[in-house]
A and B are shown apart, each in its own frame.
Chain A
Amino acid sequence: MSAPALGASIALAPRRAPGLAASALLAVRLAWRQLWSEKARLASAIAGVMFACVLVFMQLGFRAALFDSATALIGAMRGDLFLMHPLTTASFRSEPMPRVRAWQVLALPEVERAVPIYLAQATWRNPENGTRRAIQLVGVDTDAGVVDFPGLAPLLDRLKRADTMAFDQRSRPEFGPVPQMLAERGPFEVQVGNRDMEVVGLIEIGPSFGADGNIVLSDVNFRRVVKERLLSSIDLVAIRLRPGADVLAAQAKLRALLPADAMVLTQAQLIAHERSYWEDTTPIGFIFSFGSLMGLVVGMVIVYQILFSDIAGHLKEYATLKAMGYSNGYLGQVVLGAALILAVAGFVPGFLVSALLYDLVGSATFLPLAMDLARAGTVFAMIFTMCAVAGLLAMRKLRDANPADMF
C-alpha cells in the first residue's frame, strides 16, 4: 500500500511558530514563574548575586578611591608646567632637586613665575594622647597662588607668622580631634618633628595611601620643622606661564634648557605620573582587580548551583516540554532568562547596599568613596555577564532531559 501524497498532512495545520522576540518573552515569563514558585531558593540566589555585586562595588570603589586620593594633593597644585626629579616615583617619597632649577626656567620669556614646593613627611604628636604618627608636609610660598586647597585663602596672613601651619581636617582621626580643639580654644600648639608648631586653621585635602594626613605651611616654616633639609633642595616647582603662552612649546623649550635632573611635566602628566606609581608599581591595583574577580567567581558559582538544581529538580517537566515540541533552544532561553532575572534582581539591592556602604566606609576611612554612574554601569555589565555565563554552564544539564525516557 503506497501512501498517496495528497492530503499527506491531514492534521499538520500550517502552524506558525512565534517570532524570536515573542518566544524569548514567553521563555523569560516561564523562568520568572519557576523562580517565583520557590521563594526561599529565589531569595538565596538573589542574596548570592547581591553579595557578588557588593563585593565588586567595594573593590572597584577602593581602587578608584586609592587613585583619587593618591592624586588629591598633586591635583590641588595650580601650575601650567611642573618640574620634578626623574627619580621621584610618588609625591610622598620624593627625590629632591636643586632649587636653582626654579630660577633657571625664568630664562624663558614665557615663564611668569616659578615657585618651589617642599614635600616631606614628619611625625605629628597627637595633641590629645601624645602618640606620634607620620604626616605629609607641604611647604610652599602660600602667597604665590600655586596651591589651591579649600579653606587656605583666609589663612594666608596667619601662615606667614613663624611656626604656624594649616591642618588638613580630612586627615585620619588618629592625629587627634584637631578641628574640635581649634573650635574650642582657638589656635594651639602641636609638636611636629621636634618643633612646636601652631595650628592656625583648617584646610581640606584628604588622606591617601601614602599619607594619613597633611599639613600645609610656608616654605620658611617647613625649613624650621625639617631641619636636615636645605632650603636650596626642593621637591617640585610649579611654573606659571604668561597669558597666551603655548604650554607644549614652553615645555619643549624647558626640556632643552634644563639638565637631566629635572623633568618638565604638564599638570595632567604630573597627575598621571603619580597615578601610574600606584597602578603599575604597587600590587594595590592588582589586589583590587583580583578581589573583584573573586567576587564574580563566587557569585557565578552560586547562580550556577541554583540554576543547575532548578533544572535537575525539574528534568521530567523539561522533558515533557521537549515532548510537546519545545526545542532545546527555547529551554535554553528559559535558563538564560532565569539567569538574567537573577542578575537584575540581585543588582538593584546590591547597588543600594553598596551606596550605603560607600557612605559608611567613606566616613570611616576618609577615602573619597562615591557611587558614580559609570561604575554602576560597569558593575552591572559584570554581574550580567557573570549570570549569563552561569546560565550557559547550567544549560548543559538540559541535555539530560530526554523525552524518550518519559514513558
Chain B
Amino acid sequence: MPAEAPVLLRGITFAYGEGELRKAVLRDVDLTVAPGEIVLLTGPSGSGKTTLLTLIGALRAMQDGSARVLGQELKGAPESVRVRLRRNIGFIFQNHNLLGFLTARQNVAMALEQDAALGERQRLDRAAELLGQVGLAEHLDKLPAQLSGGQRQRVSVARALAAEPGLVLADEPTAALDKASGHEVVMLLRHLAKSRGVPILLVTHDPRILDIADRVVAMEDGRIVGATAERNAAA
C-alpha cells in the first residue's frame, strides 16, 4: 500500500476581507504532491499561489476545503498543531531572512534547536555538514552580511533541509538573484531534495528555473488552469 501523499488538497477555497470587501483568492483548488516530487507553481501576481503556499505551510488558518499535509489535517487545526507541523516543513523565502547576528552555521543550527535529541556539538556538526553540501564549507563562521546574495540563499537552503523536513516550501527563491546564482541555488535544492526523497513545492515567476520541475502547475484567478511539463522524477 503506497504511503499517503505529503500534500493532499481537496476543494480549497479562501478569501480575504469581510462582507462586501470579501475577495476570493482561491476557488476550489485540488492539488496532490507525491513523495519526492518537485512541483512548480506558476501564474501571474494575484493568482493565489502564495496564499496556497501559506495554507500548505500551516502559516494561515484554513477556511474551506480539506488539506492534509504530512498526514495532518489542517482544516480546523489549532495554532499549536500548526506550529508543531511547521517544524517538519522547510521554508525558503524570497529574501534569505537569515538572522543577521548569527553566523551561517548558527543560522542553520537554529533549525535543529527544537529537537531535544541533538546536543550543541551535534547541531553544529550537522550544520557544518549541510553547509558543506551547499558549497559553503569555507564560510561557516561568516555573518550573512559578509556573504553574497547567492551564498545567503544557499545558507537558507541548508537551513530548510537541516531538520530533515518531510516537505520543502519555497517562494520565489531566485527572485533576488542573478541568473547564474539563481540556477545554481535551485539545482542544489533539487539535488539535495532528490537525494533525500523530500518533495518540493516551489512558487515562481522565473521561467529560467522551470527545468528543475517534475511538474509545473499554472494558476490563474485562484484556480489551477493546467498542469504541464510532466517530466521524469529522475534523481
Contacts and interface: CB of A to CB of B under 8 A. Distances in A.
Interface of A: 3-4, 6-13, 15-19, 22, 26, 30, 33-34, 36-38, 314, 316-317, 319-327, 403-404, 406-407
Interface stretch (B19-27, B49-57, B146-154): B49-57
A11 B167 CA distance: 8
Nearest to A11: B166
B165 A11 contact: yes
Nearest to B57: A323
25 contacts: A7-B3, A10-B70, A10-B166, A11-B70, A11-B88, A11-B164, A11-B167, A15-B87, A17-B116, A18-B114, A18-B116, A33-B101, A36-B101, A314-B100, A319-B97, A321-B110, A322-B86, A323-B57, A325-B85, A325-B86, A325-B88, A326-B83, A327-B83, A406-B59, A406-B171
A75 to B, nearest CB: 56
Contact of A404 (B54, B71, B88): B54
Interface residues of B, number: 51
B216 interface: no
Interface in B130-156: none
A342 to B, nearest CB: 16
B34 to A, nearest CB: 11
A325 B83 contact: yes
A319 B84 CA distance: 15
Contacts of B95: 316
Contacts of A18: 113-116
A34 B4 contact: no
B8 A3 contact: yes
B93 A406 contact: yes
A317 B165 CA distance: 20
A17 B113 CA distance: 9
B1 to A, nearest CB: 6
The 5 closest A-B pairs by CB, nearest first: A11-B166, A37-B101, A325-B87, A8-B71, A7-B3
Interface of B: 1, 3-6, 8, 35, 50, 53-54, 57, 59-60, 68, 70-72, 80, 83-89, 91, 93-95, 97-102, 106, 110-111, 113-117, 159, 164-167, 171, 198, 203
A323 B4 contact: no
Nearest to A22: B116
A8 B3 CA distance: 7
Contact of A4 (B1, B97, B99, B166): B1
Helix, strand, loop or mixed for chain A's interface? loop
A396 B115 CA distance: 27
A368 B101 CA distance: 47
B137 to A, nearest CB: 23
A407 B68 contact: no
A13 B4 contact: no
A12 B6 CA distance: 10
Nearest to B53: A407
Contacts of A16: 115-117
B116 A19 contact: yes
A103 B110 CA distance: 84
Given A16-B115, A325-B114, A8 B53 contact: no
A407 B41 CA distance: 14
A6 B117 contact: no
A208 B72 CA distance: 75
Contact of A403 (B59, B84, B198, B203): B59
Nearest to A321: B110
A320 B115 contact: no
A30 to B, nearest CB: 8
B3 A324 contact: no
A381 B213 CA distance: 59
A287 to B, nearest CB: 43
Contacts of B5: 3
Given A9-B70, A406-B93, A15 B100 contact: no
Contact of B60 (A15, A22, A317, A404): A404
A316 B59 contact: no
Given A9-B71, A11-B165, 9 more contacts: A7-B4, A9-B72, A11-B88, A12-B72, A34-B101, A319-B97, A320-B99, A325-B85, A406-B59
B200 to A, nearest CB: 13
A26 B113 contact: yes
A298 B203 CA distance: 49
Nearest to A27: B113
Contact of A317 (B97, B113, B159): B97
A317 B164 CA distance: 21
A3 B72 contact: no
B113 A407 contact: no
A324 B71 contact: no
B35 A10 contact: yes
A327 B79 CA distance: 9
Nearest to B71: A8
A323 B59 contact: yes
A327 B78 CA distance: 13
A7 B99 CA distance: 35
B114 A17 contact: yes
Contacts of B110: 30, 321, 324
